[in-house]
Structure 1
Amino acid sequence: MKAMILAAGKGERMRPLTLHTPKPLVRAAGVPLIEYHVRALAAAGFTELVINHAWLGQQIEDYLGDGSRFGMRIVYSPEGEPLETGGGIFKALPLLGEQPFLVVNGDVFTDYAFAELRRPLAGLAHLVLVANPSHHPQGDFRLVDGKVTDESEDTNRLTYSGLAVLSPALFDGCQHGAFKLAPLLRRAMAGGQVSGECFSGRWIDVGTHERLAEVERLLQESP
């Protein structure tokens, strides 16, 4: 199974850190955020990694290189203009191949064991959900008997963690350009094609200076 890290975000809420540094290279405890993912993926047995980028993306390529120092092969999918999550993944599909692949947002911090996702995919997607953080109390989806749904009930909703396994078939009929991933997932949910799980370990959406500081605290507390 191949993996993809989404690293094309501009990180405007983290200025001035991101004025001259791409968000995935912002450091926590002295290590770029994206490097935590790369090392965790390598430890989980992934050897082929695709990374998309846009804002200051060449810095990401210069830092990670071809991946050999991590025991991986890294290839890049540069975006001349932001393509959003769906469009970015769709552009990278030729690099990802015909089999389901793991995808993770480059701006989340987690201790999820990526090796858990190296299993056959039933349906079009498998999403890792988490308890709703304070900055997203309404959640995104519901998890019912292992299936993810977009039912309108406000109760028992969970937040999409930015970590999933996706089938290339999820993108059938898409056209090149900028588009979101969520509508594709909702369409697949309507057909009962999205499974899921709830993760209760460490997970932080590093979208602000305050949440970056929270990651720093977690790392300092780690043995």
Structure 2
Amino acid sequence: MAEKVVITQGKYLTSAVQMDQYPEVRRKEIVFIGRSNVGKSSLINSLTRVHQLARVSSQPGKTQTINFYEIGAKIDDNPQRQDFYLVDLPGYGYAKTGAKRRKIWSKFINEYLLSSEDLQFVCQLIDIRHEPMASDVEMFQWLVEHNLPVLVVATKADKLGKNGIAKSVAQIKKTLGVPELDVLPYSSVKNSGREELLQVIGDCLMETGE
């Protein structure tokens, strides 16, 4: 069956730590955030199918800026390509990051999340193999408190069997305190969950806010 949402291009655009460094051309923004080493770069590469679009590092806390990627998508039979920004935020919760650095990161991440008029929703990535940590819960609650739409994406789903995935998803919902929460299991290795995530993004891009 043909994919409803097809990524036609993906390229790194710019990095920013303050507002005057954001892209000049405004587009809808889909944001990715998660703990360091949660598999964010791998998921971005899987989602876009652009090899090494986001650099995968074995060193947690490597991403230290807000990275903007310009993505093009063809949706269903719509002849017009939909361009948007995929925004990769620095990982949170990395113990070896100094308090001063964490404070700086927190400031410019919060500034971006609260100031962007084009932000559509935030994909919060959580490792499906573990119960959400305190920093995951804190970030989720912060996003909800500030009325930012959140889609929880449970990464590394290939590490568990079907029953294990169901059990972990239930645990994530319980720990975050939202029983009816949508949690999308995703495997960057097998690309499972990719079509579902692209569909959410596609629906968002086709919505007219005017």
Question: TM-score scaled to structure 1, two decimals?
Answer: 0.29
Question: TM-score scaled to structure 2, two decimals?
Answer: 0.31
